[in-house]
Each structure stands twice: as C-alpha cells, then as structure tokens.
Amino acid sequence: MTLAIVPAAGKSVRMGRPKLALPLGGRTVLQCVISALRDGGVHHVLVIVGPHGSELVPLAKASGAWVLPLDQETPDMRATVEAGLRWLEAQVRPEDEDDWLLVPADHPALDSAVVAELLAARSRYPQAGIIVPTHQGRRGHPTLIAWRHVAGIRRFVPGAGLNAYLRLHAVDTLELPVASPHVLCDLDTPEDYEHVRTEFACAGHKPPGAPAASRI
C-alpha cells in the first residue's frame, strides 16, 4: 500500500495570496497535485490543512483526498507531516513494507508518470527505504519513503527538518533519474505561477472529467 501526505498548511507569503487554490488547467493547484498522485497509483492521499486554509478542504475532498484540518498552526513542515503520519497510522494501520510519498502541495506540474515510476522502483528495489527522483543530477519531488522510517523520524533530533533526516540515511536512499524536469518545479512566487500556467496552457491540459489520451 502506498499513501501520500500533502502538507498544505503554509501561508503562501511569497505568493501574496493562497497559492493552492489558484486556477490551473481547469482545476486548482491543489487538485492538480491530488489528481497526479491518484492517476499514478497512490492508494490514499491525505491533505493536511492549517487553520487559515479552510477553502482548501472542499477542493481536496472533491478530488477524492482525505483531509486533516489542524486546530492550530505548526512550527514547521516536519510537525505538519508528523501530524499526518499519526492520523494515517490510526486510520489505516500501515505496516513496515508499506510506503508513503512526501509531496509538496505547491508542486502542480507533478507528472503521474513520475509517481508510477517511483512506485515501480520500490517494487524493483525493495531494499531501498527512500527513493528520490532526479533530473540531470538534481534531486526533486516527491520522495517515496518506506513506512519503517516513520519511527526514526519521530525519534530524530527535535527541531531538525525532514531533509536533514533524509540526508542522514543516504545509504538507504536510491536516486531515480526521470525524464520530467517538473520534479524540480516549485510554486513560490507570482512569476512561478505565470510560468507554470503558461506551460499548462501550451501543453493543452484537460479539465477534470476529460478523457485521457490512450497510452501504448
């Protein structure tokens, strides 16, 4: 079983407006992320929403995701993710052989094919507890993590971020080269949004419910 955690509790300070609800290709940024995960083969997607992000709840639910609304702000992304891990543990009781994707919510160009590649790599290389997509030698998103790492994350140095934990486990990490440059794409500023919106328009992304192109 593969789960996905989408931390969506940020305040979009650099964007200047709630970026996850921005329109993109007939959907919103958040819905694009959820759709890519589900199309890529993820069993359950959990979106974690902060107390100021109530407008994201119906968007996530309409896309088939679970939602965890937080009563108060978290100090950092690690705390947000750990809240999601606790919720998933109580709801679906994952086992060590299961895994989860850590997915930035501001990653709207996420390709479902990349998600499928990560899941396939986990089957081919079961000894790898962490799988990171790379493009031209640079690490991107999302990261696939074996559930057995959850206990280690909880015990990790208080205040240290998840990136520090992942770097500490380089021996258990597989870097997976992928063709898509979008694994490196984040959405932080108005300029980022305009760039991604232009790419979506040029690529002819279809609105929800439109038939997908057949794959051979």
Please state, in angstroms and as integers, the Cα–Cα distance from residue 173 to each residue in 50, 97, 105, 146, 161, following that order. Answer: 30, 16, 23, 10, 17
Q: Cβ(89)–Cβ(148) under 8 Å?
A: no
Tens of pLDDT, residue by residue, the chain (216 residues): 999 999 988 655 455 557 788 888 788 889 999 999 999 999 999 999 988 888 999 999 999 999 999 999 888 999 999 999 999 999 999 998 899 999 988 887 888 999 999 999 999 999 999 999 999 999 999 999 999 999 999 999 998 999 999 999 999 999 999 999 889 887 777 777 777 777 765 444 443 333 333 222
Q: Which domains does the chain have, with CATH numbers?
A: 2-203 (3.90.550.10)
Q: What's the predicted TM-score (pTM) here?
A: 0.85
